[in-house]
Chain A
Amino acid sequence: MHGPPRGANSAPSQRPLADTRAPDEGDGVDTSPSVSDRIAKTTCYMCACRCGIDVHVKDGKVRYINGNNDHPVNRGVICGKGSSGIMQHYSPARLRKPLLRSGPRGSGEFREIEWEEAFSIATARLSAIRRTDPKRLAFFTGRDQSQSLTGWWASQFGTPNFAAHGGFCSVNMAAGGLYSIGGSFWEFGEPDWDNTKYFMLFGVAEDHDSNPIKIGLGKLKARGAKVVSINPCRTGYNAIADDWIGIRPGTDGLFVFALIHELMKAGRVDLDYLLHYTNAHMLVIQETDAADDGLFVRDADGNPLAWDRVAKASVKAIDPEAKPALTGSFEVDGRRCVPVFQLIADRYLDESYAPDAVAERCGIPADTIRRIAAELAHVAFEQTIELPVAWTDWAGRRHETIKGRPVSMHAMRGISAHTNGFHTCRAIHLLQVLLGTVDVPGGFRFKPPYPRSAPPGPKPAGKTVKPMTPLDGMPLGFVCGPDDLLVDEAGTPLRIDKAYSWDAPLAAHGLMHTVIRNAWAGDPYPIDTLMMYMSNMAWNSSMNTVETIHMLTDQDGTGNYKIPFIIYSDAYYSETVPFADLVLPDTTYLERHDCISLLDRPISHADGPGDAIRHPVVEPDRDVRPFQSVLIELGARLGLPGFVNDDGSAKYADYAEYIVNHERTPGIGPLAGWRGKDGTSIGKGEANPNQLQRYIDNGGFWHHDFADDQRYYKMANRSYLDFAVRMGFITEAEPIIFQLYSEPLQRFRLAARGHGRMQPPEAERQRIETYMDPLPLWYTPFEEAVVDLKKYPLHALTQRPMHMYHSWGSQNAWLRQITSQNRLFVHHRTGTSLGLVDDDWVWIESINGRVKGQIKLIDGVNESTVWTWNAIGKRRGSWGLKDDAAESNRGFLLNHIIGDQTSADASGKCYSNSDPVTGQAAWFDLRVRIVKCAAEEAGFTEPQFERFHQPPHFEPLPDKLSFGADFRRAREAAE
């Protein structure tokens, strides 16, 4: 079942010749040149996937990077980005020294300063903030893989205004999963690639979870498993699907409900699974005006109750001996109540979710929906698998085999990035759970440290913010009801991004995309300093780019910037650097320490937990420092608790020292491997001074393989749960119950109905009532609901190409050759009806503005949808590109026309263009029309922006690159 360890050429195609001795050809070819002087095994950072890499160093230079054969994430393979790391590392756009703004903000005029000056400027500023009002520091960290450090730093500083880029990336995916099943797609779960027979892939996104998905798809293809993709665009993974369903954007929830409708009608749901692992049998109070309407019926100890069919009485829901009812209406202690499952049946059996009712809106024939439902049912119930492995569940019941229903699903950003994304994610999890396919053989599997309770604790800190005082927890967490919100009595948000407010109650990743507007508007309050790391907020990471650029540079009447001070750390001269007042130049990923921690997003896979490090492979040739070390030094200079010893001296010299010695709770630190003085513990244990060396010796990572009986049913597997407690993943070995019905959401509804201490402002009650539905629902995406659809008949989407997905600085010499200009892809019929042909230049117009680009007519796209590659368009003067680069002349950025706010509601309030539950940026709600541009307008993109000045001592850009010629010269000279 599980062959040898997951390393060593999992790509089955990687087979050397039977005899690899060189033949005697006599042509003088050197078939065994020396490759490198040394190989450093570290972790890639060309995207967020955390693959292991072997960096070959020759003559002090990086010669070659390949995938680490033993690494649990990529198992020897490497993606297009990973191999291009050399060009990223040697990019001419690398910053060289700390910079202090010398011209107007946004011009790119800087002077170089020494690190000491940079530290004193930052320390003086931040220290004043901390002494007066710590929340006037907003610290947002973009593509940050050190959130357990950066979040903790913010907490020690005392500001609640911290988040990374998840709010505009995938929080719907994360929250949708974590509030439903205590895990989620991508980082916290994966399909059972080795056993699944039917794989459904939802949503646009070319390459989320890059290599693991590709390795998995390769396995499915080799095995002949069926791949079904539900995606408006037929690119990348969708190209190899056996079935491509070109759904209309934003309607996936409806499609899933129609599948659920069909499955339920046909009795194709796994009742046993529902009873054992979900809250389907828990009783929900049904008393319309009661303050606890819609909450679970609980006993005196707070345990949810179910109705025992045999005893005809209420029982504790979590009772292995109970025989709970799933349907019916009951009275318990004089309260009318029904099981969750009754509510589910009532909702989804409604004819409004029948295939015929949704087909047109989804753009999918009803017969296709019925066929997919039948296929799901067939595979789940007729092709079940059983692994011959005995296991014991949480209640001590022994099972002789592990049973599985080999249907698995995965969802990507196309699901997340809509205003209805949270509920759509929940809908997909509901479908998986009804089929009994979560954490079973062939199904969707959790990656440790997940599953955790749904939602996981703890709650977000930041209710009280006091000078010189750390927060009482971490800034980001999971709310369980209105009492956990970060709002004041009047309902005003306490965070600058309005996370955990009535605007976005379940904002588990914060709302980085709202920070610039809110700070500019002083809403809910003005800030002093905006500190950011590795996030291109003045370009492709913001919606409404044109206005965002204005807000960054806008001044009040007295000539002061409305956002008074901006500190930014980046390794490259991105479009955001010129808007900073103080620039802290970061290193490349080959010059630094990092940890890919179980406290953040580790490298675990479903068969065991793991974490990893980066360590310096080469020394920087510039005056730059790793941001994490800079942050630790800043913490020490500011005297933040946790960063200084009792005598006030710095606790950690740099990030490496922190990684080894920091303990978040006793015995638990950033790395789980080789803990304890002698390095024999995992998970918990004393700091081990040799820990980093142990990691380096092991190939840059630590990984623990589960015993066979721990690999499935982790939500209820005694052996796994005990292990998880020992590791500190969870606090008690109790079963994790899937929350098909989400009580936390219902608590917000009750507040909207006037119950409880914390209630939404009057004008927002209806919004809360509607969207905080405890069961998954579908509604029209917001922009689609308000714009004139005749005027803006098309959906517009973006996705980054695989070779740039999640990549920081894809404008390197190799990757940019693959894509340096993006086209707008338009369906043939749509384009032809508009009189357009290939290569025409068109205006792409939305209610928010217009942008100009060139089109390409294609077949593989939903007819009502246009799309383009994202983040190809670049601003002139950035990223070390020449002025004639295609990126700034022909490439375009759709962000310019995506609004960052919704249209004003009846009360005049504009919300962020985000999901109303989680605050996830709704990139994909965009509606557009396309209009052929005038002849004289063709040939160049608009809007255009002023060219940035170049930082001091930037080298002139080369006319040619002969990378590798040196290696050859040295090799031939040695012969």
Chain B
Amino acid sequence: MTCLPTHTDKKLGLVIDLDTCVGCQACVTACKEWNTGGHMAPLTDIDPYGGHVDGVWFNRVHSYEHITEMGGRTVNFPRSCLHCEMPACVTVCPTGASYKRASDGIVLVDEDKCIGCKLCSWACPYGAREFDTDVGVMKKCTLCVDRIYNDNLAEQDRVPACVAACPTSARHFGDLGDPASAISLLVTERGGVDLMPEMGYHPTNKYLPPRAHTQRAASVPAKALEPVRAEGGFLGWVDRMLSN
């Protein structure tokens, strides 16, 4: 049913730290390999060895240059489904294939119902929908719904594949509906933001802005160095230090 639940018990999502992401693509291929055999398998690749290769990926990392009066900065920017609270991709779906789970807020596609009309991809401002031309249905990030509750995995591994892979710990997973959760506290502490808040989709995932060129950046309160004031200059200083 593509009407949205009035309330979800949890708001599971990701927090992505743009201050820490180095753009290594670890989350990208970890997502690909888990999901190409997972709930929405396969993530088809068309022309995999040719000049027009085009595959289904649930997570893609862009890079930008953010140039402000304070200077320039390179920003690596992972983009995937934000599991919005008001996901128009769900409400536009004519078949009920797209839905938002009332229990945890994950936005999923029931492939068996999808007619491949692509309207959900038009309705998503973030480009989170991925059409599999070979199968003819829309696919998308499942927030690794087949990992996070999976009894066949060790408890510590029950996180989305992208989070498990991330070598810099730039990706965090948890319940953003619980203000006391570690991930919610992180968002508060670091001033996490919504993407395109003006769209009114209320994304669950949050992004932590880069700290460079801001008050939050690491800095060293160092005083300028002064030449040693000793007779004989530096060498004199060395002698004096050794004699003490």
Contacts and interface: CB of A to CB of B under 8 A. Distances in A.
A23 B9 contact: yes
A334 to B, nearest CB: 25
Nearest to B230: A267
Nearest to B27: A80
A31 B149 contact: yes
A228 B101 CA distance: 44
Given A20-B149, A378-B221, A859-B72, A814 B55 contact: yes
Contacts of B12: 17
Nearest to B142: A29
B102 interface: yes
A680 interface: no
Given A67-B164, A960-B134, A31 B20 contact: no
A-B pairs, 8 with minimum CB distance? A23-B103, A884-B51, A80-B25, A214-B167, A378-B222, A964-B37, A22-B149, A964-B36
Contacts of A240: 19-22, 168, 210, 212
Contact of B225 (A21, A268, A379): A268
Interface in B199-244: 210-212, 217-228, 230, 234-235, 237-239, 241-243
B159 A327 contact: no
Interface string B139-162: 000000110111111011111010
Contact of B158 (A20, A64, A309): A20
A17 B49 CA distance: 39
B26 interface: yes
B234 A349 contact: yes
Contact of A961 (B45, B63, B72, B234): B45
B156 A14 contact: yes
A833 interface: no
Interface in A8-43: 8-9, 11-18, 20-25, 27-35
A271 B241 CA distance: 8
Interface string A263-275: 1111110010000
Interface of A: 8-9, 11-18, 20-25, 27-35, 58, 63-67, 69, 74, 76-84, 86, 92, 198, 207, 210-211, 214-215, 217-219, 221-222, 224-227, 234-242, 244, 262-268, 271, 309, 323, 325-328, 341-342, 345, 349, 370-371, 373-375, 377-379, 801-803, 813-818, 820, 858-860, 880-882, 884-886, 889, 957-965, 967-968
A271 B167 contact: no
A15 B159 contact: yes
A378 B171 contact: no
B159 A14 contact: yes
B39 interface: yes
A34 B151 CA distance: 9
Given A222-B169, A859-B67, A967-B37, A818 B21 contact: no
Contacts of B23: 235-236, 239, 802
A65 B44 CA distance: 19
A884 B102 CA distance: 47
A960 B48 contact: yes
A23 B104 contact: yes
A258 B122 CA distance: 56
B95 to A, nearest CB: 14
A326 B242 contact: yes
Most chain A CB atoms below 10 A, which of B32, B110, B182: B32
B50 interface: yes
A63 to B, nearest CB: 5
Contacts of B43: 964
Contacts of A802: 22-25
Contact of A77 (B38, B152, B165): B165
Contacts of B164: 11, 14, 66-67, 76-78
17 contacts: A17-B148, A79-B25, A79-B26, A80-B29, A207-B24, A215-B169, A218-B20, A218-B168, A242-B218, A309-B243, A323-B242, A345-B235, A814-B32, A814-B55, A817-B53, A881-B49, A964-B42
Nearest to A972: B41
B85 interface: no
Contacts of A234: 72-74
Given A241-B212, A964-B37, A374 B22 contact: no
A860 B74 contact: yes
B103 A64 contact: no
Instruction: Report the contact-size class of chain B (Cβ under 8 Å from the partner).
Output: 35 or more
B238 A16 contact: no
Contacts of B99: 27
Interface string B1-26: 00000000110100001011111111
B173 A15 contact: yes
B25 A961 contact: no
B74 A263 contact: no
B195 interface: no
A374 B223 contact: yes
Nearest to A860: B74
A13 B172 contact: yes
Contacts of A217: 20, 22, 168
A813 B45 contact: yes
A420 to B, nearest CB: 26
A962 B136 CA distance: 13
B156 A16 contact: yes
A153 B21 CA distance: 44
B228 A325 contact: no
A967 B240 CA distance: 75
Given A224-B218, A239-B22, A962-B134, A67 B53 contact: no
A377 B101 CA distance: 55
Nearest to B236: A327
A65 B33 contact: yes
A327 B235 contact: yes
A22 B104 CA distance: 10
B226 A225 contact: no
A788 B67 CA distance: 34
A816 B55 CA distance: 11
A349 B232 CA distance: 13
A218 B24 contact: no
* Most chain B CB neighbours (cut-off 10 Å) among A16, A371, A377, A957: A16
Contacts of A345: 234-235, 238
A841 to B, nearest CB: 17
B76 interface: yes
Contacts of A377: 222, 225
A885 B234 contact: no
Nearest to B211: A242
A166 to B, nearest CB: 24
Contact of B165 (A78, A325, A817): A78
